């Protein structure tokens, strides 16, 4: 995903590296372990930060989509794929 977004011009390799490094450094200053177990969270935070910075998504839309996904995850039967259509508050347009 990161490579596809970079290739599409949403951000540069340097922006990605700097943003991900900043997310990791901030997390470690806050006590995050340096053992790789939270790498995905740092990766996602960096991707979200870049998406907001370049105007791909607004912070409000990002929060709304995260909430929708969490509701969909709780409503999805075990073993089934999670889709935003499973959000009980969805209008089906997601």
Task: Say how many C-beta atoms besides its own lie within 10 A of residue 11's C-beta.
Answer: 21
pTM above 0.85, yes or no: no
- pLDDT value of position 30: 94
pLDDT over 80 (residue 93): no
* pLDDT tens digits, 1-32: 899 999 999 999 999 999 999 999 999 999 99
């Amino acid at each position: 995903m990161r490579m596809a977004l970079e290739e599409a011009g949403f951000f540069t390799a340097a922006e990605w590296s700097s943003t991900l490094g900043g997310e990791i450094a901030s997390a470690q200053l806050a006590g995050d372990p340096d053992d790789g177990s939270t790498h995905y969270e740092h990766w996602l935070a960096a991707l979200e930060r870049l998406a907001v910075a370049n105007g791909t998504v607004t912070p409000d839309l990002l929060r709304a989509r995260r909430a929708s996904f969490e509701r969909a995850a709780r409503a999805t039967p075990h073993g089934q794929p999670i889709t935003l259509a499973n959000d009980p508050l969805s209008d089906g347009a997601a």
